[in-house]
Structure 1
Amino acid sequence: MRITLALPRELGPTEVTRWRALQEAHAAFDNPFLSPEFTLTVGELRDDVRVAVIHDGQEIVGFFPFERHPLGIGKPVASGLTDAQGLVHAKDVHIDPVRLIKGCGLSVYEFDHLVAGQPLMGEHHERHPSPIIDLRDGWERYTEFLRAHSGKTYKSTLAKSRKLQREAGPIRHDYATTDLAPLRTLLGWKTDQYRRTGRTDRFAHQWIVELVERLLATQTESFAGVLDMIYVDERPVAGHFGVRTRTTLAGWFPAYDPRYSKYSPGLIHHLAMAERAAESGIEVIDMGRGQKEYKDKLKNGELEVAEGRVARVGAAAGLHWLMRVPARKTRATVMANPLLLKTADKALKTYGRLRTVLQG
C-alpha cells in the first residue's frame, strides 16, 4: 500500500472518475457525503482538507478525505455537519488503519458517523442506528408501511394537510429548485430553530453558508444539491436542503415556519418530499443518526454508523483521549437514557429562550 496526499483541487479528472467508480461499486458508500464533489467543494472553502490517495502498485484502490487539525488530529471533511464518513475503497483490498493514518501524518482520526464496510471500523467502536426512508419498493409500498406501522401519524398528517389548505390556501410543492431566495428563507428558519432550542447556529459560520450555496449550484447526474419547499397560498411554509447521489438523498437541513407549527408542516413536507424523490429515482432517504420524533414516525429501515477513533501510540493521541473520549462517553450515556435526554433537551430549550430574550 502506497499513500500520496493531495489538496482536493490537485485531484485530476482521472482521480475523480476513479473515486466515483469506487463509490458506485459498493452500496455502503452510496451517500453524497462520500462523493468526490462534496470533498472538492469543502476544499474550496477550507484549507485543512486533504485527500489520501491509496495505491496498490499502479492502481488506485482508495480515497480517504479528511481534515488535518493541530497536533495531528484528523477529522472527517466538514466535521460536525456530515452523516456519513470514512474512506471509499475497492472491494477486498486490505488497508491497515494505523498505517493509513500514519501515512496521512495523523496521530488520531476521530469519527462519529463512520459508514459500514470500513477498514477503520474496530470491534470496540460504538455503533448507532441511522434511520432511513427506504423507497426501493416504490412510494405505494412505503405508504402501505406507514398505514400499517404509523397509521395514526400518517392519517393525522394527511388530515392536517387538508386543514392547512382549507384555512390558509392551496399547497404547492417546488422540488429540486436551484433558486437562492427559498434557500435563504430556509436557512433563516434553521437559524431561528437553533437559537430557540439552545443549539449552536451553524449558519453563523460564513463558510457553511457558502458551502450550502455552492452545493445547491452543483447539479450533475451523480451528485447534486437538492432544495425543495412547500408553499401555502404562495407563502413558504416548510422545506429542506440536502445532497444526493444517483439513488440516495441525504437529509440535512429541514426547517419550517413556526407560525404554522399546529399543522405539523415538517411531516407534511417530508411526505411530499419523499414522494417526489421516489419519482425522481431516489431509492433511500438517509435521515441521519440521532433521535428525533419525526424520524421515528417516518422511518421504515435503518443503517448503522460508528463512533470512535483510530490512534497511533504517542503523546498527542493520549492528550486527545483525555480531551475527547470521556466527554463522548458521557454524551452517549445521556443519549441512550430517555429521561436524561429529555432533561438535557429541556435545559437547552430554556437556555435558548433566555438567550433570545437577552439578545432581543
Structure 2
Amino acid sequence: MLQVENKKVQELGPEDRAAWRRLRAADPGLASPYFSLGFVQAVSRVRNDVRVLVARENNEIIAFLPLQVGILGHARPVGGPFGDHHGLIAAPGQAIDLKALLSAGGISVFDFFGVPGHQRAFRAGARGEDGSWVIDLSDGYDAFVETRSAIEPKAFRNLRSRQKKLEKADGGYVFRPDDRREEVFETALAWKSAQYVRTGHFDAFSVDWTRNLLKTLVHDEGEDCHGLVSSLEIGGRLAAIHVGMRSSSVLHYWFPVYDPEFSSFGPGLALLMKICEHVSQDGIAQVHLGPGEYAFKSDLASWQIPLLSGYVATTSLLGAARTLANGIDASARALPLGPVSTLPGRAMRRLDRMTSFRPA
C-alpha cells in the first residue's frame, strides 16, 4: 500500500534525509547536483512553494519527488525553468505508480521536461524526448581530449589554434577556476541579462528569486551541491565567466557568458576547456552541458543522457483541463496548416514558461 506525505523541505527529518542519501547513492544516474538535498534546500530558501512527496511502502521510504506546487496543485520541477534535470529520488528499477503518488500527495498536474530516460515511472506521461550532452572526464582530461580529437579533429584543431592565440595575447591571460569576487558574479548576471534582451528572450534574472538562488548556491555550500564561478581574463580584463554548480562527481555547465569584444579568442570555449581540465583533478567525472542543438556541445560531448518531457494528470478538474489543452495542441499539429498548426502549442509553452518565473 503506497503511503505519501507532502512535506516542506524543512520538515524532512533525519530518517528522510538518510533515506534520500541512500537512494541517491544507489543510482549513478542521480549524481547530478540537481538531485541533491542541497539544491532542493537552496530553492526552498528563495521560494515558498517547494514541497517534497515522500513515498513509503510497508513503512519504508521508497522514493522522493521534489516539486514546486502552484495554484490548484499544478506542480513543476524544483527550480522551474532552471531545473534542467529532475525526477524521482528512488532506487534503480523501483516500480512507482506516478499518478497514484501525485494523487495521494495532492498534486493535480506535474509538468516535466528533464527527467532521465531510465526513470520508467515517467514513460506513460512522456510526450517528447531530448538529450543532455555529457563530457566524460572519468579517465582524465587528457584522455577526453585524445578521444574527442580523433572523432572531431577539425573542432579540436580550432580549439588548439584559439589556445595559441590566447597564450600570445597582449597582457596574457588569467584563469580563475573558483572566482569568489562579488563583482565577477554580478558582472556575469548583468552580461547574461543583456544577452537575453539582445536575443529576444525573457530575462531570467529580472526576477529576484533566480538571482537569489544563484547567490545562495555560490555563497552557501549545500549538501553535495554548491555554486562555482569561474572566469577568464585577457589582458587584465574580464573576457568570459561561467556560473555553474557541482556535486562531488558532476559539474553542471549552467550560465556561460562572454564579452563579444574578445570573440576572436573564443573565450567561452577556452574557459570551458580550462574548467574541464581543472575539475578533472578535483573528483569531477562528468560535465553535464544540458540539452540543446549547439555545435560545441556535439563536438565536445562523449554521449547524451536521454531526457523525457511531458506531463502527468490525476483525476481532477485541473488534470482534465491539462489533458484537454494537450489534445488541442495535438489536433492543431495534425492539421495541414503549416507553421500555423504549431501556434496553440507554442502559445501554451510560452505562457507556461512565463508563469514558471513568477515569484513564489
TM-score where L is the length of structure 1: 0.86
Secondary structure of 1:294's aligned partner: helix
Asked whether the 8 Å contact 2:51–2:66 carries over to 1, the reply is yes
Q: Does 1:274 align with 2:276?
A: yes
Asked whether the 8 Å contact 1:9–1:44 carries over to 2, the reply is no
Counterpart-to-counterpart distance in 2, 1:177 and 1:325: 48
Asked whether the 8 Å contact 1:49–1:65 carries over to 2, the reply is yes
The equivalent residue for 1:56 is 57
Question: Bigger shift: 119-128 or 322-331?
Answer: 322-331
1:152 aligns with one of 154, 158, 161 = 154
The equivalent residue for 1:196 is 198
Counterpart-to-counterpart distance in 2, 1:315 and 1:177: 49
Q: Does 1:205 align with 2:245?
A: no
Distance 1:328 1:45, change over 3 A: farther
1:221 Cα deviation from its structure 2 partner = 7.1
Counterpart-to-counterpart distance in 1, 2:90 and 2:135: 26
Unaligned runs of 5+ in 1: 332-336, 345-360
Counterpart-to-counterpart distance in 1, 2:327 and 2:32: 27
TM-score where L is the length of structure 2: 0.86
For 1:111-190, what aligned pairs fall within 5 Å after superposition?
111-123=112-124, 125-190=127-192
Partner amino acid, structure 1, of 2:157: K
- Count of equivalent residues: 334
Distance 1:196 1:91, change over 3 A: same
The equivalent residue for 2:220 is 218
Partner amino acid, structure 2, of 1:127: E
Asked whether the 8 Å contact 1:238–1:256 carries over to 2, the reply is yes
Partner amino acid, structure 1, of 2:310: G
The equivalent residue for 2:99 is 98
Q: Deviations over 1:74-98 (max 9, x none)?
A: 1111111121111101344332111
Q: Does 1:232 align with 2:234?
A: yes
Asked whether the 8 Å contact 2:38–2:224 carries over to 1, the reply is no
1:323 Cα deviation from its structure 2 partner = 4.0
For 1:69-80, what aligned pairs fall within 5 Å after superposition?
69-80=70-81
Distance 1:160 1:217, change over 3 A: same
Partner amino acid, structure 1, of 2:132: S
Distance 1:188 1:48, change over 3 A: same
CA RMSD of superposed structures (Å)? 2.4
The equivalent residue for 2:4 is 3
1:223 Cα deviation from its structure 2 partner = 2.2
For 1:21-32, what aligned pairs fall within 5 Å after superposition?
21-32=22-33
Counterpart-to-counterpart distance in 2, 1:104 and 1:219: 30
Counterpart-to-counterpart distance in 2, 1:66 and 1:270: 31
Counterpart-to-counterpart distance in 1, 2:331 and 2:293: 17
1:248 Cα deviation from its structure 2 partner = 0.8
1:109 Cα deviation from its structure 2 partner = 0.9
Partner amino acid, structure 2, of 1:44: R
Counterpart-to-counterpart distance in 2, 1:272 and 1:71: 46
Counterpart-to-counterpart distance in 1, 2:330 and 2:198: 24
Counterpart-to-counterpart distance in 2, 1:112 and 1:325: 18
Q: Does 1:66 align with 2:67?
A: yes
Partner amino acid, structure 1, of 2:44: G
1:168 Cα deviation from its structure 2 partner = 3.3
1:138 Cα deviation from its structure 2 partner = 1.4
Distance 1:329 1:273, change over 3 A: farther
Counterpart-to-counterpart distance in 2, 1:140 and 1:165: 19
Asked whether the 8 Å contact 2:38–2:222 carries over to 1, the reply is no
Q: Deviations over 1:162-185 (max 9, x none)?
A: 223423321211112333221111
Counterpart-to-counterpart distance in 2, 1:150 and 1:27: 28
